[in-house]
Structure 1
Amino acid sequence: MSRRTLLPPPPPPVEIRSWPDREALLADRAFVLGELVTMHVGRGRLVLLWLWGALCALGWSLVGTAILTFEESYDIFGAVLGVVLAVLGACCVVPSVVFVVVGLRRDRQIRRLLDAWGELDRDPDGDMRLRASGASLAWVLSSFALCAVGLYACVVVPAGARAPEDTYGAVALVMGLGMIGWLLGLIGVTKAFAHRRWVLRVLVGAPGPEPLFSVRGGAHR
């Protein structure tokens, strides 16, 4: 299993489970859940999301510059420059949006696997590291700050724009960048709270299911 590309399989059906004892089950469960938590809210995932956001912001900056070029130039050279900038911007925006959407779909699969593996059993001591409190806090704080900056750029800056000093292209550029920041922050906050709900519901919430193995190691029938 590749930690960065492949998701672990779901737990096997009850009728074909072959763990020799509860300790083996808990070991496999802890390993898989550790991988899944890292894939979901690891710091590397936060950095990757911000990288895609930076690429999208770069692309929109090029598109906004193209709009400004169209507004300010009245010759063929300015028009050609504007088209080139718009194409380069689209080449940055489109793949970044696609990869973010793919990542969101992957997160949905990860959450289903987290539920399936987490509900196999309970291990209060071993599950402490799965709470990833530090990583979740980093997601919440950075994403909340990004949401605040994005909303400011989307609402306050356009509201204070005055013609003719502030052109439509400049306002569109700022609003687009603000919208990118707000959406990225919203994704980050949603992921952090989704992980927190999983911790409360699966790891420390309702009483665990009847163990697959008895205390003496014999399988329940």
Structure 2
Amino acid sequence: MSPRLPMPPPPPPAEIRDWPDRAARLADRALALDALGRRLLGGGRLALFLTWFLMLQVGWGMVGVLLTSLGGAILDPLTMLVGLVAAALGIGVLVPAVWLTARSVRQDRIARERFAQWALLDRHGSTDARLRAPVLSACWMVLSTVMCGTGLWLGFAVPAGTTREGTVYGLDGGYGLVAYGMGVALVFWINGLIGLMKAVSHYRLVLRVTGPAPRPPGSRSASSGPPRHV
């Protein structure tokens, strides 16, 4: 998320809470849950997720120039120089992309913890019904499933298409091309798992924190009827 949209703080401790009434508490709760929900599954978060995924693929693709040149049948100094320059640029893209991806996973964990804290503060049917975000969750699930499926297919297809001569489906790149293909598959697979984890974790979290409010000790359900005298 943008630094101009900071993560909502956790709710204040019980001993210093000073909401004038329940309506004010529910209003602050709704604002915090809406901001945290957009931070976890919103359209902007999805755009950042795809941007970092593309950065990983571009960075690894530039490193792949060096890998494929090393695995080629003919290796001349110019090809080696081009491969080294491309690999250096690729590492310059790959390292921040890996850092941003790891940072987003850590921030998602903090956002889920604060989401649970605000949700457990109270219950409100009309607000809680929107927290599951079914459309956004479905988008994350479909996109992440496609990523995982693509990574799984590449993980099997690249080794299966490699010949003893070092070609992959007729492409001359040696085993450097195999390493590049397996790296592409790994990027697809890891990012797909991250997206699936986000969608499933959010759904389970909402189910856990928006269930029926706990009954106070000693209360009886309406169906239990009046106490019976023996």
Per-residue deviation at 1:208?
Answer: 4.4
How far apart, in 2, do the equivalents of 1:196 and 1:112 lie? 14
The higher radius of gyration belongs to 2
How far apart, in 2, do the equivalents of 1:8 and 1:209 lie? 29
Per-residue deviation at 1:207?
Answer: 2.6
How far apart, in 2, do the equivalents of 1:7 and 1:45 lie? 13
Q: Is the 8 A contact 1:55 1:92 kept in 2?
A: yes
Q: 2:6 is matched with which residue?
A: 6
Per-residue deviation at 1:3?
Answer: 7.2
Q: 1:30 is matched with which residue?
A: 30
Q: Is the 8 A contact 1:121 1:208 kept in 2?
A: no
Q: Does 1:207 align with 2:224?
A: no
The C-alpha deviation readout for 1:71-117, integer Å capped at 9, x for no partner, is: 33433222211110110111111110000001111011101101110
How far apart, in 2, do the equivalents of 1:178 and 1:4 lie? 35
Per-residue deviation at 1:162?
Answer: 1.3
Per-residue deviation at 1:209?
Answer: 7.1
**TM-score, with length taken from structure 2:** 0.86
How far apart, in 2, do the equivalents of 1:185 and 1:143 lie? 4
Per-residue deviation at 1:156?
Answer: 2.6
Q: Is the 8 A contact 1:122 1:208 kept in 2?
A: no
Q: Is the 8 A contact 2:69 2:75 kept in 1?
A: no
Q: 1:69 is matched with which residue?
A: 69
CA RMSD of aligned residues (A): 1.6
Q: 2:48 is matched with which residue?
A: 48
**4+ aligned runs moved over 4 Å, structure 1:** 2-5
Query: Compared with structure 1, are the counterparts of its residues 142 and 43 closer, same or farther at alpha carbon in structure 2 (3 Å cutoff)?
Result: same
How far apart, in 2, do the equivalents of 1:137 and 1:209 lie? 33
Which 5+ residue runs of structure 2 have no aligned equivalent?
A: 169-173, 217-230
How far apart, in 1, do the equivalents of 2:61 and 2:155 lie? 15
Q: Is the 8 A contact 1:120 1:209 kept in 2?
A: no
How far apart, in 2, do the equivalents of 1:131 and 1:209 lie? 24
Which of 181, 185, 188 is equivalent to 1:174?
181
Query: Compared with structure 1, are the counterparts of its residues 209 and 162 closer, same or farther at alpha carbon in structure 2 (3 Å cutoff)?
Result: farther
How far apart, in 2, do the equivalents of 1:147 and 1:61 lie? 19
How far apart, in 2, do the equivalents of 1:119 and 1:94 lie? 38
